[in-house]
Amino acid sequence: MRRIASLDDISAGLDALCAIDPRLATVRATAGEIPLRLSEPGFTSLVSIIVAQQVSRASADAIFGRLVKLVDPLTPQALLDAGESLFREAGLSRPKQRTLLAVSEAVCDGLDLHHLCRLDATDAIARMTSVSGIGPWTAQCYLLFSAGHPDIFPARDVALQSAVGHALGLSPRPDEKILGCLAESWAPWRGVAARLFWAYYRETRGRDGAPPVQIQGKA
């Protein structure tokens, strides 16, 4: 399976998407720069995505910044050893505390986050969502940004729903089910389509709605 590993892959995907759906040519022109957003697979990347669940990008950045200062290095065992007061100081809600602890326990028990990136998306998502607190959005974003999976579209993402609705003139804003069906037409480049619409959201709304990515090296 081809991976999204370079800006050339993004460009190839965008060309293919515009051929599949000519409406996306206008979206591409508006979106401007579409970053690669590729992160190093592993625990830190997954933690950053969990922190970003259901909060603004600014809040996620602030919380994650506090967490990595309080827990250095950020490892599963370090989180298991951290007390509740540390999580409160970082600004993590109780549900996210429980999720981080469940993920830490799973990794210590053998969940291989690097190996997941080499699996078929369906299998990888099934394994990840078996961990308490990890839902489809978290698993999909991890595979998008850490595995460079080319054909995943997190239809539950509110920024993507808003961006697609605005760009394609859909009212009301498409919900997860409708957006998921719509995105099927963009296969096998749905991972690039997600990046395109996050960039469109950034340009039209003036803020970044994409989940934060812990970039390692040049991307």
Which domains are delineated in the chain? 7-38+151-205 (1.10.1670.40), 43-137 (1.10.340.30)
How much is the CA Rg of the chain, to the nearest whole Å? 17
Residue 216's pLDDT is 47
Contact 194, 144 (CB under 8 A): yes
Within 10 angstroms of residue 84's Cβ, the number of other Cβ atoms is 10
Mean pLDDT across the stretch 163-183? 96
CA 189 – CA 185 distance, rounded (Å): 9
Residue 214's pLDDT is 67
Residue 217's pLDDT is 37
**pLDDT-based confidence at residue 218 (cuts at 50, 70, 90):** very low
pTM for this entry = 0.92
Q: Which helix (H) or strand (E) holds 125?
A: helix 121-129
Within 10 angstroms of residue 65's Cβ, the number of other Cβ atoms is 14
Contact 188, 150 (CB under 8 A): yes
Share of residues in the chain with pLDDT > 70 (%):
97
Contact 78, 94 (CB under 8 A): no
Mean pLDDT across the stretch 153-178? 96
**pLDDT-based confidence at residue 1 (cuts at 50, 70, 90):** low
Q: Which of 11-20, 94-103, 208-217 is predicted with the least confidence, judged by mean pLDDT?
A: 208-217
The per-residue pLDDT for range 106-128, each reduced to its tens digit, is: 999 999 999 999 999 999 999 99
pLDDT surpasses 70 at 215:
no
pLDDT surpasses 50 at 38:
yes
Residue 83's pLDDT is 87
